Structure 1
Amino acid sequence: MIERDGSHLIGFFCDMPMVGSGYFGMVQMGLLAACRKAGCELVVKAFDLQSTDIPEQIQSLIVRSPLLGVVLPAPLCDMAELLQVLHAVGVPVARIAPYSEAGTTFDICIDNEKAAYDLTAYLIGLGHKRIAFVKGPPDHGDAKARFVGYRKAMGIAGLPVIEELCVQGMFDFNSGIVAGEELLSVKPLPSAIFACNDEMAVGVVAVAHRLGLRIPEDFSLAGFDDSPLARTVWPELTTCRQKMDLMGYLAADFLIDPPAAPEDRKRSQDHDLVIRQSTAPVRE
């Protein structure tokens, strides 16, 4: 067991592609606010998920810098081996939007499946039937849950999930461009595209502008997260807001002032649909 008494360091461990994203920035803002209030410092470490020695890297880091606790966003928050290492050395863990149950962690949760269901149902309510979906990384719990929600909404509405309209993305702008090029070459065009994060949606916007396609006149587009990008791109994105800064704040607060009761180890956050200019009723 590593001695942590007196530590004022909180670790924020993430995967390298997350660094620089709007999601990362908003979560980090919340973490920093909680740390500032409590007089703690934030230690940020990004890992290459292709590396086979992440547990060893983390053990080495903790030995050098004993931590009050660690905040893990997806997909690290669902890596069983990583959770076992942190539990074995006695470091408390707060997970942001986990997909799996752990039992030994503090969890900040959002119902990604329900959020994606609600956004898909909104598009269906506008009359859209050929709704494409840009997926996130295959090993990412948030991405899995959002795809489930999309499929569920389509199924309940009696609409087919068309394989060629469900394309792979990686939660970044470049993969959004690749997805946009693929989807916007399909004839007929999908009447709406739901990208399961805002950065990929912005990639689709870039392709549409290059091809001379109009949003939402030629197709509607929705993202997910309500990151700053959603409000700075043109047209502004319809999206699903998760309060990422609040989730970061609550995750750090779990570690700074941990609840005593087991039933208080999980906190759920609501989502909101944010309707902007990128979606409109389908045009026949």
Structure 2
Amino acid sequence: MEGTISKRTTIVDIARVAGVTPKTVSRALNDAPHVSAAVRQKVKEAAEALDYHPNLAAQSLIARRSFLIGLTYERPSPSYVVELQNGALSRLDDGRYRLVVLPFAHVASRPEELGKLLLRAGLDGVLLAPPASDQPLLLDMLERQRLPYARITPHSDLDRGLVVAMDESAAGHAVAQHLLALGHRRIGIILGDPSHAASIGRLEGYRRAFAEAGVGIDDDLIVTGDFTYAVGYEVARTLLASAKRPTAVLAQNDDMAVAAIAAARELGLSVPQDLSVAGFDNSEVSRTAWPPLTTVNQPVAQMAWDAADRLIAMLDGKTVPELPQRRDHAHELLVRASTAAPAA
């Protein structure tokens, strides 16, 4: 090859310009203690003037850290996954840490395999989204190997690790209470994956709202949709074609709720005149559906940001974890045009 290859700026170059030692440059750029504010500012100005970009691989070797944060989840709705990733990425946007996305199927039946995957990935820490956040065997493995973790919306062992939570039962209660207050009594329920604790928690909230209203839940109107649009559509068609067709449907996420609207239209039903539909998550699809979907706002992106922020603080030694380290986020019922009083 002919020509020359331009040399990358190093901390030696920055040290020469700033008039300090390379070690001081390293400490200043990494915000280490025992560096004066004036020196730190001088070093950072020199780095900017020289268009310096740190070599992450070299940093990892020197610090014996990967600066990789893992995010593992199962296969819920695409909208949920995007919200998770966006929330975590927005916290990691300063470039010091990078996000490694590790989807894993059938977590509940294979927690040990997931644990081995995480431990082999060379991570500094990991964000556990449902259902991984509720697997005691997985948590045991991570703790034995001292791999820091933060749990997003777990429902059990809430005194373990860093926890970012939302009351799924209270949220389920709120949306069921909304339909009952409108006057619906024959309400279909489309459950999510039964291996996800969120599905159980939301159903508990539904049952509590029904009991408070003195209304019995018809078990024939409860079907399992697996949190996916495709399965939600199939079970919604079965539900709506039955002799005891419900006047309203509670779907445990927005993808299945939108699938129920599509199934209703194919059967010649109008939403909300013939059928009210409510979802859960306040994902993008809930806002672009027609009619716009009544749903529960679960602040997924904010919870992922919070989990990443707390995990990074622990990794950087800025906080000393003292269990329980739990932070709760509030849900919000968003009433839109997909729900109305039942027809006379």
Greater Rg by CA: 2
1:215 aligns with 2:271: yes
Cα distance in 1 for partners of 2:195, 2:225 equals 12
1:95 aligns with 2:151: yes
261, 268, 274: which one aligns with 2:328: 268
Displacement after TM superposition at 1:203 (Å): 1.1
Cα distance in 2 for partners of 1:95, 1:111 equals 14
Compared CA separation, residues 135 and 90, structure 1 to 2 (3 A): same
Partner of 2:70: 11
Partner of 1:41: 98
Partner of 1:283: 343
Compared CA separation, residues 129 and 54, structure 1 to 2 (3 A): closer
Q: Output the amino acid matched with 2:161.
A: T
Cα distance in 1 for partners of 2:107, 2:132 equals 12
Paired residue secondary structure (1:77): helix
Cα distance in 2 for partners of 1:255, 1:135 equals 32
Aligned residues: 279
Q: Output the amino acid matched with 1:29.
A: N
Is residue 111–residue 135 contact of structure 2 (8 Å, CA) maintained in 1?
Answer: no
Gaps of 5+ in 2: 1-60
Q: In proportion to residue count, which structure has more strand? A: 1
Q: Which residues in structure 2 correspond to 1:123-162 (within 5 Å)?
A: 123-162=179-218
Displacement after TM superposition at 1:149 (Å): 0.4
Paired residue secondary structure (1:66): coil
Q: Indicate the RMSD between aligned Cα atoms, in angstroms.
A: 2.0
1:187 aligns with 2:243: yes
Cα distance in 2 for partners of 1:168, 1:223 equals 14
Cα distance in 2 for partners of 1:95, 1:87 equals 13
Displacement after TM superposition at 1:6 (Å): 3.3
Partner of 1:176: 232
TM-score (structure 2 length as normaliser): 0.77
Is residue 75–residue 139 contact of structure 1 (8 Å, CA) maintained in 2?
Answer: yes
Cα distance in 1 for partners of 2:321, 2:132 equals 25
| More RCO (CA 8 Å, sep 6+) | 1
Cα distance in 1 for partners of 2:70, 2:296 equals 28
Cα distance in 2 for partners of 1:56, 1:254 equals 26
Partner of 2:287: 231
Identity %: 34
Displacement after TM superposition at 1:38 (Å): 6.0
Partner of 2:306: 250
